[in-house]
């Protein structure tokens, strides 16, 4: 199968959906001719013009507000927020407006929009450009939250997100953008709410999201050399969450490590751990382990950043603690 | 104006230019990580503004903050060390280019959030008012930032409470790739002052004396308790938005035209004509600044890296 980078896969999903459905359009800062801060929208403005690949002023409140208004009235906007950190600027539009309109109106409106935003550190971009804020949004009923870890998933999940009638937060990891992988051609859809077992194993389950899936696979490789068989489960979407696949894996292995790049404290790993504790405690042979960022903002200097953010070795160490 | 002050202003502009030029080289060599946004071409704005300030006055800065920091009295060595991510840097390696701050010098930080300073500056102004001092706050922000909600809310608040804040819009005509004509309907951001019932002044941001005078008037007003002013300095960034930006959105011709309006060359000419500086003086200043920059790089290079565990310090007071 042909290979695409993660960024190209996102772009292909956007292109196909924009061709298929004239109500789909993009808006955001520098998404037009410039091609997006990380080059994701690329040449889309050439094919679809500046009406459908819309450059906006630096006004996150207006970007998301306009997306909500357009979505409520028949369009399917796909706004891009340049860094997920800037979602703080438009939290009202997301949390009080987009997430709740349908419910508050007694089911009378739908808000089909997909907010794309890059997460993650690792490039010395410091504390206001490196966060992983997905857990904030999983706490808000009415929002769906998607975090693809591979190019194929990025494409398939984005198509599913655009076709979904709800506001979807779609988090892409900056370090994944250049990563290549096989991507099916055409209208490839990965349904929301289906986890993927990225590697089968029998001794320990590692539930990992986004970039940490890659790191979990690296860890699994290292541990395999030492005779430990690791199963890597990628939930792919946090809301809705495929509890069944996670629980089935945990019941099989009896041990689980949960890994995400966001700060461990109150991260989404806490939710997964709670679900496992509630529904599969009797199957556990060891305490549930969480791997995530240490409790500090993401620092600038490489040595500091590396210390704060979780890596492959942290996953290996966590697995070793429970086997 | 006193001769010393004019010479100080010239030196500051040269310090910014040489510092930024060096940073550009170091970034290209991979010796500075992260994002850097350079101030080359805009030196007259920071210097003309800060020449009116006392050490106990405040500034809020932006992602393009090196010039503001130097002009307000920041230490070049500590800045360079921070850009290198060293322990001796302004933020002990935690902040980097976008977060350099020197609170003792009234520098309330560069900011990675466009429009971030626009909401903080009124708070510093309010504080001065409540504490009964005559300190003022200069809030630097870009043309792009003038479309953030914080612009409206910050100026409105400062105007109704007559806060001692000078809002300086550095209109370099672009917010990353978007030309001003595509991000707002007006040509002069200063027009928006009408909406807040405060003075709005347009000034040539490449003319350090013009900036100085406009800001002097605004500072006088602010210290006298008469409230904020919005000043718009028309200028241009010579470099890409960030180092590494391919700048596909503007023409080489446009860049050349603006380089011909170099704020430093212009002020130099003025000082030479007025007999305030001789060619020899100028060469001496240039050489001294070059040595200062080299010393800053040496300091940064020789400084130790922070210890990894220090990443968890300073989170709480
Ligand atoms: C809230 C927020 N949105 C977007 C960005 C990304 N960004 C960084 S600088 C910049 C352009 C700022 O333009 P302007 O205010 O004119 O300042 P200039 O860069 O021209 O000095 C953008 C969009 C950001 N840092 N913060
Ligand atoms: Mg600008």
- Min distance A35 CA to chain B CA atoms (Å): 10
Give B212-240 pLDDT, tens digit per residue. Answer: 999 999 999 999 999 999 999 999 999 99
Local confidence pLDDT in tens for the 323 residues of chain A: 999 999 999 999 999 999 999 999 999 999 999 999 999 999 999 999 999 999 999 999 999 999 999 999 999 999 999 999 999 999 999 999 999 999 999 999 999 999 999 999 999 999 999 999 999 999 999 999 999 999 999 999 999 999 999 999 999 999 999 999 999 999 999 999 999 999 999 999 999 999 999 999 999 999 999 999 999 999 999 999 999 999 999 999 999 999 999 999 999 999 999 999 999 999 999 999 999 999 999 999 999 999 999 999 999 999 999 99
Inter-chain residue contact B85 with A304, CB threshold 8 Å: yes
Quote the percentage of chain A above a pLDDT of 70.
100
Mean pLDDT of chain A: 98
Q: Does A300 touch chain B (CB under 8 A)?
A: yes
- Min distance B307 CA to chain A CA atoms (Å): 7
- Per-residue DSSP letters for B33-77? -S-----TT-HHHHHHHHTT--TTSEEE--SS-HHHHHHTT--HH
Give B162-206 pLDDT, tens digit per residue. Answer: 999 999 999 999 999 999 999 999 999 999 999 999 999 999 999
Q: Is the dihedral of CA A190, A194, A198, A199 positive or negative?
A: negative
Q: Find tokens 């009408």 and name the residue.
A: B194
Question: Largest Cα–Cα distance in chain B?
Answer: 56
Ligand 2 midpoint to CA B142 (Å): 5
Give CA–CA dist A85/B98, Å, rounded: 14
pLDDT at B93: 98
- Min distance A205 CA to chain B CA atoms (Å): 29
Which residue, B134, B167, B174, is CA-closest to B152? B167
Q: Which residues of chain B have pLDDT under 50?
A: none
H helix or E strand, kind and range, residue A263: strand A256-263
Does the beta carbon of B144 sit less than 6 angstroms from any atom of ligand 1?
yes
Give CA–CA dist B48/A232, Å, rounded: 59
pLDDT at B178: 97
pLDDT at B5: 97
Inter-chain residue contact B311 with A308, CB threshold 8 Å: yes
**Minimum-distance ligand to the CA of B147?**
1
pLDDT at B1: 85
The structural domains of chain A, ordered by start, are 3-182 (3.40.50.970), 196-322 (3.40.50.920)
Give CA–CA dist B196/A1, Å, rounded: 60
Give CA–CA dist B138/B99, Å, rounded: 17
Burial of A47 (0-12, 13-18, 19+ CB in 10 A): exposed
Q: Pick from B176, B184, B311: which is nearest to A307 by CB? A: B311
Q: Does A127 touch chain B (CB under 8 A)?
A: yes
Give CA–CA dist B258/B10, Å, rounded: 19
List, by residue number, the catalytic residues of A: 129
H helix or E strand, kind and range, residue B126: helix B116-131
Residue of B43, B61, B167, B176 with the most ligand 1 atoms within 8 Å of its CB, for mutation: B176
Q: Both tokens of residue B81?
A: 């060390």
H helix or E strand, kind and range, residue A169: strand A168-173
Q: How many CB atoms lie within 10 A of CB B82?
A: 29
* CATH dotted code for B3-303: 3.40.50.970
Q: Is the dihedral of CA A172, A173, A174, A176 positive or negative?
A: negative
Which residue, A28, A25, A18, is CA-closest to A55? A28
Give CA–CA dist B121/B140, Å, rounded: 9
């Amino acid at each position: 199968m042909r290979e695409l980078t993660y960024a190209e896969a996102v772009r292909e999903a956007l292109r196909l959906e924009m061709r298929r459905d004239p109500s789909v359009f993009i808006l955001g800062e520098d998404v037009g001719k410039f091609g997006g801060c990380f080059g994701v929208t690329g040449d889309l403005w050439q094919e679809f013009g500046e009406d459908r690949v819309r450059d906006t002023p630096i006004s996150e409140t207006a970007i998301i507000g306009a997306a909500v208004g357009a979505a409520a009235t028949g369009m399917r906007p796909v706004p891009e927020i340049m860094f997920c950190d800037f979602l703080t600027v438009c939290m009202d539009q997301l949390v009080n407006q987009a997430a709740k309109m349908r419910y508050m109106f007694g089911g009378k409106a739908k808000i089909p929009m997909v907010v794309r935003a890059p997460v993650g550190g690792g490039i010395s971009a410091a504390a206001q450009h490196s966060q992983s804020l997905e857990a904030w949004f999983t706490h808000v009923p009415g929002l769906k939250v998607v975090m693809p870890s591979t190019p194929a998933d990025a494409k398939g999940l984005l198509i599913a997100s655009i076709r979904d009638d709800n506001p979807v937060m779609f988090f892409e990891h900056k370090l994944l953008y250049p990563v290549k992988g096989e991507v099916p051609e055409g209208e490839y859809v990965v349904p929301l709410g289906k986890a993927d077992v990225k590697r089968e194993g029998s001794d320990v389950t590692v539930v990992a999201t986004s970039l940490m899936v890659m790191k979990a696979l690296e860890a699994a490789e290292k541990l395999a050399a030492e005779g430990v068989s690791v199963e890597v489960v990628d939930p792919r979407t946090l809301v809705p969450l495929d509890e069944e696949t996670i629980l089935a894996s945990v019941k099989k292995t009896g041990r689980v490590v949960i890994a995400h790049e966001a700060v461990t404290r109150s991260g989404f790993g806490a939710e997964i751990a709670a679900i496992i504790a509630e529904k599969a405690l009797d199957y556990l042979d060891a305490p549930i382990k969480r791997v995530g960022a240490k409790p500090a903002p993401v620092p600038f200097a490489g040595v500091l950043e590396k210390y704060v953010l979780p890596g492959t070795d942290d996953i290996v160490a966590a697995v070793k603690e429970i086997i | 104006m006193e001769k010393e002050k004019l010479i100080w202003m010239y030196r500051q502009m040269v310090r910014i230019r040489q510092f930024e030029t060096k940073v550009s080289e170091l970034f290209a060599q991979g010796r500075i990580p992260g994002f850097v946004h350079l101030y080359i071409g805009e030196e007259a704005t920071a210097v003309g503004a800060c020449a009116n300030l006392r050490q106990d006055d405040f500034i809020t800065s932006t992602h393009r903050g090196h010039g503001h920091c130097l002009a307000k009295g920041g230490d070049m060595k500590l800045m360079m060390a921070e850009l290198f991510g060293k322990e001796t840097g302004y933020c002990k390696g935690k902040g980097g280019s976008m977060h350099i701050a020197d609170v003792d010098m009234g520098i309330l930080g560069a900011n990675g959030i466009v429009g971030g300073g626009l909401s903080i500056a009124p708070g510093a102004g309010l504080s001065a008012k409540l504490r009964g001092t005559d300190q003022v706050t200069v809030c630097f922000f870009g043309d792009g930032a003038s479309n953030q909600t914080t612009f409206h809310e910050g100026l409105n608040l400062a105007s109704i409470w007559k806060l001692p804040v000078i809002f300086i819009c550095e209109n370099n005509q672009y917010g990353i790739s978007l030309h001003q004509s595509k991000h707002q309907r007006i040509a002069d951001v200063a027009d928006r002052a009408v909406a807040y019932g405060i003075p709005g002044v347009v000034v040539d941001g490449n003319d350090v004396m013009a900036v100085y005078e406009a800001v002097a008037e605004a500072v006088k007003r602010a210290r006298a308790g008469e409230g904020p002013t919005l000043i718009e300095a028309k200028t241009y960034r010579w470099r890409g938005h960030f180092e590494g930006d391919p700048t596909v959105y503007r023409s080489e011709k446009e860049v050349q035209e603006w380089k011909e309006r170099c704020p430093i060359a212009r002020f130099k000419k003025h000082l030479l004509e007025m007999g305030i500086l001789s060619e020899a003086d100028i060469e001496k200043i240039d050489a001294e600044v070059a040595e200062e920059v080299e010393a800053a790089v040496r300091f940064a290079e020789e400084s130790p890296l922070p210890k990894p565990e220090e990443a968890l310090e300073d989170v709480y007071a």
